[in-house]
Amino acid sequence: MEPRLQPLETIAYGAIGLVTFFAIWTIVVLSGAVPHTFLPLPTAILTRFTFLLTHSFAGATLPQHLLASIDRYLGGFLLAALVGVPLGLLMGWFRWLDDILSPIFDGLRFIAPIAWVPFAALWFGTGYGGPIMIIFAGAFSPCLINAHRGARFVNASLTEAASMLGTGHFRTITEVLLPASLPSIVAGLRVAAGLGWQSLVGAELIVAANGIGYMMVQGQANLQTSTVMAGMVSIGLVGFGMDRLLRLAERAVGKRLGRPA
């Protein structure tokens, strides 16, 4: 790649991209090539967005829908991290566990989270449990895989040093594999966060009675494309914000381990 640009230049180019994007969009709609009901104007979406911030639609305001979604999301994401990361580390250390579990997980991970919707609804209901299972299905694999790979590719001399120091399995995993894999794990969490968030909205389109996805379905039912789009915008914004936070975490981890990210 070319050398890095100054931060201001980066921002300027980003702004050029966004402005051009919205300009073309506006022109296409205003020219009449596409009816407003198919594609609302950016300004209409913005108006609708601000309206929904304070006005109830489909039972709640947009922030309330978002909070309901984030609540579910955090549940599913934390569950995926709390199960996936330790399990990945264990699989990275114990070959036999890897041999037992890898074929299963390698198959499961190709099933799109949405494909679990019927079972999620059946097993855990459509309120909290069902969506959580779907988020879990989306976020679990990256947590597991990155912890697994991180642990597997730890510098062999570090695990050898641990074993010659008489380090037991538990401590080797918590004090050697875990810190050594942290960069990989955090990268996995970042991917998992994105996939989980996508899965959540997909799940809510089908199985929830509130949340941002539910709001969008109701908007669609009422032929309010601008409501659907306002939902999409807020999904994008929240996802972007989360990713930024995790990126900061990634940097912090790199610094803590003495190597710049």
Minimal distance in Å, beta carbon 256 to other proteins? 7
Q: Any residues with CB less than 8 A from the CB of 193 and at least 6 apart, and which?
A: 77, 139, 242, 243, 246
Residue 160 binds other proteins (CB under 8 A): yes
Minimal distance in Å, beta carbon 156 to other proteins? 9
Separation CA 167–CA 145 (nearest Å): 25
Residue 249 binds other proteins (CB under 8 A): no
Residue 170 binds other proteins (CB under 8 A): no
Quick one: which of 4, 110, 168, 223 contacts other proteins (CB under 8 A)?
168
Burial class (CB in 10 A: 0-12, 13-18, 19+), 109: middle
Nearer to other proteins by Cβ, of 36 and 255: the residue is 255
Q: How many residues bind other proteins (CB under 8 A)?
A: 21
Stretch that binds other proteins, among 7-15, 37-45, 47-55, 151-159 (CB under 8 A): 151-159
Max CA distance (Å), the chain: 75
Separation CA 235–CA 200 (nearest Å): 10
Return left, alpha or beta for 206; rule: phi > 0 is left, psi -120 to 50 is alpha, else beta.
Answer: alpha
Quick one: which of 1, 8, 104, 164 contacts other proteins (CB under 8 A)?
164
Quick one: which of 23, 82, 161, 237 contacts other proteins (CB under 8 A)?
161
Separation CA 59–CA 140 (nearest Å): 31
Minimal distance in Å, beta carbon 159 to other proteins? 9
Residue 163 binds other proteins (CB under 8 A): yes
Q: Which two tokens stand for residue 226?
A: 């601008």
Quick one: which of 85, 176, 200, 206 contacts other proteins (CB under 8 A)?
176
Residue 11 binds other proteins (CB under 8 A): no
Residue 166 binds other proteins (CB under 8 A): yes
Stretch that binds other proteins, among 4-12, 25-33, 83-91, 167-175 (CB under 8 A): 167-175
Residue 157 binds other proteins (CB under 8 A): yes
Question: Site map for other proteins, 180-199, x if CB under 8 A?
Answer: x-------------------
Residues at the site binding other proteins, with contacts judged by CB under 8 A: 155, 157-158, 160-168, 171, 175-176, 179-180, 256-259
